[in-house]
Structure 1
Amino acid sequence: MKPSVKDFSLWCDFIERGFLEQEFLQHINEAHFMGATSNPSIFANAILHSNAYQEQLKNLRTQPNLSPKAIYEALAIEDIKLAANALSRLYAADKDYGYISIEIDPMLSEDTQKSIDEGKRLYETIGYENVMIKVPATEAGYEVMGALFREGINVNATLIFTEKQAAQCAKILDKNAKTNARAVISIFVSRFDSAIPTPADNLPKLGVLNAMLCYEAIEEVGNPRIRPLFASTGAKLKGLNPDYYITNLIAPHSVNTAPLATIEAFLSAPQERAIPWLEKKEILKQISQIDMGKSSLESIQQTLFDNGIKAFKESFSQMLAKLGSL
């Protein structure tokens, strides 16, 4: 692995059956990444646009009365099992590595008990210890992630946009850390820089600086089994180095989950940071100097969170509708 920073690792933010059956294990063996993540949008894109699912779909259609969600779960669980099995060697060597995550139905994001029940069911059905159940940081989600973590289920707290969210997730998980389960708290990064005017020097900073604040809030809790994870790290702005959101967020005791192309760009490029890691006072100072147009940081954070929840729900609904019409 290229980075030499202690306890920093890359995970691949991509799931697709053909990839899992072919290149995935090679990337693991070559230490390109040490874990993987998924979300409803990734699964929707994979299932609806890849031919690799056709045989299983054909078999599922022969089973009577299967709902679109049951079909989706059968497909997704098979992918998660493939990934978990491939990553199991890393997990066996060190319980901090070798994880794959699957998200609870985003339609349940405000239903505490149904989310807890689904999280438990998914974890038990998949049957691999190195699976993380992904829970969005809604008001209901805080209780869900605590309940799952308390029972020894690994948790990926997701859709983190604010320092307050990051701190609340870390405190709840720490309070419920009754077992040796592991958790990551997924801080979304690049979306901030698409939400504000492009800076004159074409070096967006808000996403990175906000992520630094969230990282510090998590690390202040001081639980070694709860790590910050930088997510949404593909470079979307024109002219930006593809590995920008990796090189700027290499920190101890952290994970960066990125698209495969972003990881490959990072591993093949010289390692350097455009923004040095800063103390909180300096982070806040630099954030205050950023042109956010007519918006405030708080309004941008709320909009990005709302849009994130909405996007996952829409992707999930569209996928279920398509599966139901096949």
Structure 2
Amino acid sequence: MNLRQNINYSIWCDFIERDFLENEFKTLISDGIIHGATSNPAIFENSITNSPAYKNDISSMQHLSQKEIYEALAIKDIKRAAEILLPLYEKDSNDGFISIEVDPTLCDDMMGTIEEGVRLFKTIDMPNVMIKVPATIAGYGAMRELTSMGINVNATLIFTPNQAIECAKALDIGIKKSTHSPKAVISVFVSRFDRACDELCQTKGLETAKLGIINATKCYHEVEKFANSNIRTLFASTGVKGDDLPKSYYIDTLIYPNSINTAPLDTIKAFISTGKKQETKLLSLQECDTYLKLLNDNGIDIEAVSQQLLSDGLGAFKVSFAQMLNKLKN
């Protein structure tokens, strides 16, 4: 079954590094395994500070500020990824995208996010770049304005159905205002719910490794209600920690029509070798709500967990960003 053709389902790679782009990345694309890519501050921190591929560029830019060095490195990589992915985008504009995230310290600054998003998009100057914006109050306004200007957006750090709805509302308005038909994805984080709640579920005799899937499925239903073909749900945070689950678990269980899964390299490789290659049976909204009520009845406050995960996610990206900037000056 060709999942991409039959149900508009794609796998994107949640990783970017300069040497990887010129080698394995191209192979994964030519083999028809991945059809896009994503990045975030933590990925860039790992790549820029650990790969020797950036050493010479960093040394030659010591006269610049830390953020200027970072942006020069990130823009170079994102532009190159966009060039490699461009044939996919030109063939099918639903795919072939690469995302770059705005400075995570701007998460509560709508105008700052808009200004940086516009600047990054214009500087990279590729049609298949998405500007990644966190799903905060300020972020919703930024998503709306960026898409209204024809800029593709990746709404990120979605943990609740309400966040998914607010993102979809903002993106739907912005896309319909634009004359350029921009594309958007709504990135729902999956596995972090299970890592946060599995131990508690186990003590209450409830099934583990299920909440992330149920919550993500409910978010997916809410996005699909908007019936905007330019907006797709993207399942993120789909790597497995430990050996209790199959490595491709969070891909196998979320193969839904009109969706994307962005996964780490080892997860993608596990999916290729052992994963399921057919559409997943879609749980109904009623089934999702029944399960979430069961957790609530057992004293598990999903809203509180969601808020903590969002706070932790925003905080982790800020820390990664700061740590990376600190390492860019000799």
- Check whether TM > 0.5: yes
Amino acid in structure 2 at the alignment position of 1:310 = G
Aligned partner of residue 212 in structure 2, secondary structure: helix
1:247 aligns to what? 252
- State the Cα deviation string for residues 143-174 of structure 1 (Å, max 9, x = none): 00111000000000000000001011101111
Please state how far the C-alpha of 1:239 moved relative to its aligned partner. Answer: 1.4
Provide the secondary structure at the position in 2 that maps to 1:197.
Answer: helix
Indicate conservation of the 8 Å contact 1:202/1:239, yes or no.
no
User: Aligned equivalents of 2:273 and 2:3: distance in 1?
Assistant: 12
Q: Which amino acid in the other structure matches residue 18 of structure 1?
A: D
CA RMSD of superposed structures (Å): 1.9
Of 213, 219, 234, the residue aligned with 1:214 is: 219
TM-score by length of 1: 0.94
Say which SS state the counterpart of residue 149 (structure 1) adopts.
helix
Unaligned runs of 5+ in 2: none
* 2:286 equivalent to 1:281: yes
Cα drift, residue 233 of structure 1: 0.3
Match of 2:276 in 1: 271
CA contact (8 A) 1:203 1:240 kept: no
Gaps in structure 1 of 5+ consecutive residues: none
Superposition deviation, residue 274 in structure 1: 11
CA contact (8 A) 2:3 2:279 kept: no
Tell me, what secondary structure is at the counterpart of 1:221?
coil
Separation in 1, partners of 2:26, 2:32: 10
Contact kept, 8 Å, 2:198 with 2:208, in 1: the verdict is no
Q: Residues 130-145 of structure 1 correspond to what in structure 2 (within 5 A)? A: 130-145=128-143
Q: Could you tell me whether the CA contact under 8 Å between 2:255 and 2:280 is conserved in 1?
A: no
Separation (CA, whole Å) in 2 of partners of 1:79 and 1:193: 32
Shift, 1:290, TM fit: 4.1
Distance, in Å, in 1 between the alignment partners of 2:309 and 2:282 is 24
Match of 1:156 among 149, 154, 157: 154
1:125 counterpart = 2:123? yes
Q: Is 1:187 matched up with 2:177?
A: no
Question: How much has 1:292 moved relative to structure 2?
Answer: 9.5
Indicate conservation of the 8 Å contact 2:198/2:209, yes or no: no
Q: What do the CA deviations read for 1:162-193 (whole angstroms, capped 9, x no partner)?
A: 00010111011111112311000000000000
With the length of structure 2 as denominator, give the TM-score of the two structures.
Answer: 0.93
Contact 2:154 2:186 in 1 (8 A): yes
Distance 1:59 1:250, change over 3 A: same
Paired residue type of 1:187? V
Give the aligned length.
Answer: 322
Query: Aligned partners of 1:99, 1:20: CA distance in 2, in Å?
Result: 14
Q: Is the 8 A contact 2:255 2:279 kept in 1?
A: no
CA contact (8 A) 1:60 1:71 kept: yes
**Retained in 1: the 8 A contact 2:9–2:255?**
yes
Contact 2:110 2:142 in 1 (8 A): yes
